[in-house]
Structure 1
Amino acid sequence: MRLSRQRRMVLDLLWAEKSHLSARDIFEKLNDLGRNIGHTSVYQNLEALQSAGVIECLDRANGRLYGYRSDPHSHITCLESGAIEDLDVELPPDLLRQIEERTGFRIESYTLNLTGRRCRRPLEKQP
């Protein structure tokens, strides 16, 4: 894949924001930053980057959101604000084996989509 100037602008914005944005958000943010890019160019470049596996695309009821990560990971969505956070979680091997036994599938990778309401600050990781 050729990394055009427009693709580079889209990638730089997604990496800087580290959040999940709609194509419209990306278009507006780039133009607010003085980058002249059209709606069509944003959509075409997002599609190309997503098809090449460089970025992720989340299909939501209110449209598609694009994120800077392409590696396997999970998400947690706030039911109040709609904010989506990336979540790296590893399921216990016993649970994976149990799912395999119940379904007859050999699990090669997985992602979780969790929803909830933020009720407190995340726990600090213990050293």
Structure 2
Amino acid sequence: MTVQRRNTKQRTLVLDAVRSRNDHPTAEDIYLDVRRQDDKISRATVYRNLRLLEDTHAITCVKAPGGDRFDLRLDAHAHVVCTECGAVIDATLPYDESADDAVATGTGYAVTGHSTIFTGICPNCQRAGNPEQ
């Protein structure tokens, strides 16, 4: 049985905050944005609503090194994470469903999908002369 959840003002604020960004924000980023709109909203309310939005497929959660990030894109796609500054962007790489089939065949799992995260150093950090270039 699916539980219907009403759309609360707080949840709308959280979703609007995710929609207003294109940088794969953290929960803390969203909390700070929402606090500018409603200074009474708690961190727990924002975090809980992010999980509810994820559970209802209104947003996706990117399990990135350094912590979860949130994304409005609902299609399967890869991400690139900067190991210096933590920036997360969408990778320009099509989703490879054949990888799901290959892993399912090799493991016996009923694979339902995968996520791909590339790591590297973003152009801004490269220009800044970080030593790991």
> How much does 1:100 deviate?
6.1
> How much does 1:64 deviate?
2.3
Identity %: 25
**Counterpart selection for 2:73 from 69, 77, 83:** 69
Separation (CA, whole Å) in 2 of partners of 1:91 and 1:39 = 34
Asked if the contact 2:100/2:113 (under 8 Å) is kept, the reply is: no
For the aligned residue pairs, the C-alpha RMSD in angstroms reads 3.1
> How much does 1:108 deviate?
6.2
**Structure 1 residue 117 and structure 2 residue 109: aligned?**
no
**CA deviation map 1:64-86 (0-9, x unaligned):** 22222222111011122110001
Q: Secondary structure at the match of 1:20?
A: coil
**Counterpart selection for 1:14 from 12, 18, 27:** 18
Corresponding residue of 1:25: 29
Corresponding residue of 2:51: 47
> How much does 1:91 deviate?
5.9
The count of corresponding residues between Structure 1 and Structure 2 is: 118
Q: Secondary structure at the match of 1:21?
A: coil
> How much does 1:2 deviate?
2.7
Asked if the contact 2:64/2:81 (under 8 Å) is kept, the reply is: no
Corresponding residue of 2:106: 103
TM (norm. structure 1) is: 0.71
| AA matched with 2:77 | H
Q: Secondary structure at the match of 2:69?
A: strand
| AA matched with 1:20 | H
| AA matched with 1:18 | N
For structure 2, which runs of at least 5 residues remain unmatched after alignment?
A: 125-133
